[in-house]
Structure 1
Amino acid sequence: MSVAGIGEFGLIDRVTARLTHGAAVLLGPGDDAAVLAAPDARVAASTDVLVEGRHFRRDWSSARDVGHRAAAANLADIAAMGATPTALLVALCMPADLDPAWAEELADGLAAEAGTVGASVAGGDMSASPTLTIAVTALGDLGGLAPVLRSGARPGDVVAVAGRSGYAAAGYTVLSRGFRTPKLLVEAYRRPEVPYAAGPHAARLGATAMIDVSDGLLADLGHVARASGVGIDVRRDAFEVPRQMRDAAQALGVDPYAWILGGGDDHALAATFPPAVALPAPWREVGRVADGAGVTVDGEPYAGPAGWDHFR
């Protein structure tokens, strides 16, 4: 069976039948547009795209895994604004010979990841394409709070991270070398564990700037430094190297800090806070904001890759 065999609307029916909707979705799939509640009168919105061969491989990840990753990449952006995710809109472009079960399992992964924060898959679109592509738009509720921008960091602020760093990048390297273990790292690449609640919590704590770490910690902190007109220094010793990562790095001949400092896809949150703020778990201090420009590590320029660039 293929998606060409059941047709566009047959596949839509099969996928939407698997979806449930939260309270924010007043009207779900089936009409020209979804209708969502927006009690704050403002909506945080973000879009991300995953392309097969560029962002995922079907021999590395199940359809459900890809669904989790696609949802996480977008939901994390909403959390990084200090907002609570409410809904996803998903566009799926696929080859005509794709097994419909793959699309259904993708929908299951998307819905399951969204469900961890009480969000729903509210609608989307489908089209034929020679390249399997998933485009997701996430929407969120600011809950009366001001959005936390990249441009608010000030000299003297503390730099903190919530979530894991380097695990997914290590998992990617392991998979690219033809291995499937350590499981901790491989699963981190397949399904990131995102501290979604830490984003709105940071906003309530008074975070001055925040960003989702998708391309690499140093690269993404570089966006904060540039937007805020400041320098940021990161302490290498603020990051623990877990045993599995240390062992994999030794076996593969990789510096584990290249994963921790330059690897993305864990979708940790990085934020800056006034120094008087007592940071609760899962936030941990990893550096400081200072006068200047750019990002340094232990006071020195970092020689390795700072993160991912789609066009390099």
Structure 2
Amino acid sequence: MDERVPTTIGELGEFALIERLTARLPQGPAVRLGPGDDAAVIAAPDGRVVATSDLLVEGRHFRRDWSGPYEIGRKAAAQNLADVAAMGARPTALLLGLAAPPETEVAWVLRLADGLREECAPAGASVAGGDVVRAPQITLAVTALGDLAGGPPLTRAGARPGDVVAVRGRLGFAAAGLRLLAEGRDGPAELLDAHRRPRPPYEAGPQARELGATALVDVSDGLVQDLGHIAVASGTRIELDGDALPVPPVLGPAGLHHVLTGGDDHAFAGTFPPDVRLPGTWTVIGRVAEAAPGTGDVVVDGRPYTAGGWDHFRS
């Protein structure tokens, strides 16, 4: 009698699952020692390592009836790789912690790994290791590492009065897609896909540093909210021009709101000296002004915009 082929991770077991996962995850040149030992070894020629981490919890950050495992994997990688790029660094590696119920299908987990791998590839990173554990619901813990290649990190604290504010990447698409899914609608597909799989322009981080950016942030929680982090850290006021904001018709009547408050597209927003000639991939949307000592805020057409932005403990 033929043995039954394991279809769930509970039937397959921890170590067999790890073997199947690592077989799908080729290693790039920055990974000197990949999965299979007690820890990975990642090259750090700069002498410094950029590091960031995120948690994605089923039902809170993704729904399996809205997104497939491949899309969830790409999204999990993208939001971490974008944070590395926002520091002006190039991503080198990801580490994945996966918690899942034993009845989770093996095929689901392998497609998740495919998504992680294929999102890492264009950014130049590899999935270099991690851990798997049993849990009542699927949770992903992702750590991303990056290399500054000898340059200074781009922080939130460098904006100066007189700088221009510019963005690169889509704004509002993922937020509009999320609203459509919540309403049970099946289009426009462009917006639904944007929620399921962001497309950060990873090269924008190192490019911004080369262009002389004074501050940069990954727009993960909303444009106004994330630019507010720059304003507070820099002790400046950021003044946005509503007419300059990219609000394509596909975003619908709430387009401006989605652009100002939606974050899951992982665009990049930065401040640049006023004499810098920005390429056409960047859109100037405002300016940096002086603020009262010890303060920092963001205004849109001269007024505060307080509706929206993501907060895990309030949203």
Q: Same fold (TM over 0.5)?
A: yes
Write the mapping of 1:191-270 to structure 2, written as runs, cut at 5 A. 191-246=197-252, 249=253, 255-270=254-269
Partner of 2:99: 93
Q: Deviations over 1:213-239 (max 9, x none)?
A: 000000000111011111101111112
Partner of 1:308: 310
Structure 1 stretches of 4+ moved >3 Å: none
What amino acid is aligned across from residue 308 of structure 1 in structure 2?
A: W
Q: How far is 1:53 from its partner?
A: 0.4
The CA distance in 2 between the partners of 1:224 and 1:131, in whole Å, is 35
Aligned residues: 304
Q: How far is 1:303 from its partner?
A: 4.4
Q: How far is 1:205 from its partner?
A: 1.1
Q: 2:93 touches 2:125 (CA, 8 Å); kept in 1?
A: yes
Alignment TM-score, normalising by the size of structure 1: 0.96
The CA distance in 2 between the partners of 1:152 and 1:242, in whole Å, is 30
Q: 2:71 touches 2:196 (CA, 8 Å); kept in 1?
A: yes
Q: 1:213 touches 1:264 (CA, 8 Å); kept in 2?
A: yes
Matched, 1:122 2:128: yes
The CA distance in 2 between the partners of 1:282 and 1:30, in whole Å, is 41
The CA distance in 2 between the partners of 1:295 and 1:147, in whole Å, is 23
SS of equivalent to 1:150? coil
SS of equivalent to 1:206? coil
Q: 2:44 touches 2:147 (CA, 8 Å); kept in 1?
A: yes
Partner of 2:4: none
Partner of 1:169: 175
Partner of 1:286: 285
Q: CA RMSD in A?
A: 0.9
Partner of 2:48: 42
What amino acid is aligned across from residue 191 of structure 2 in structure 1?
A: L
Write the mapping of 1:16-165 to structure 2, written as runs, cut at 5 A. 16-165=22-171
The CA distance in 2 between the partners of 1:244 and 1:275, in whole Å, is 31
Q: Deviations over 1:267-307 (max 9, x none)?
A: 001100010111113211011110122110011111422x1
Q: Deviations over 1:124-157 (max 9, x none)?
A: 0010111210010000010111000000001111
Among all aligned residue pairs of Structure 1 and Structure 2, give the percentage whose two residues are the same amino acid: 59
Partner of 1:252: none
Q: 1:145 touches 1:204 (CA, 8 Å); kept in 2?
A: no
Alignment TM-score, normalising by the size of structure 2: 0.95
Q: Deviations over 1:26-84 (max 9, x none)?
A: 11000001011111111101101110000000000010000010000000000000000
Q: 2:249 touches 2:255 (CA, 8 Å); kept in 1?
A: no
Q: How far is 1:193 from its partner?
A: 1.0
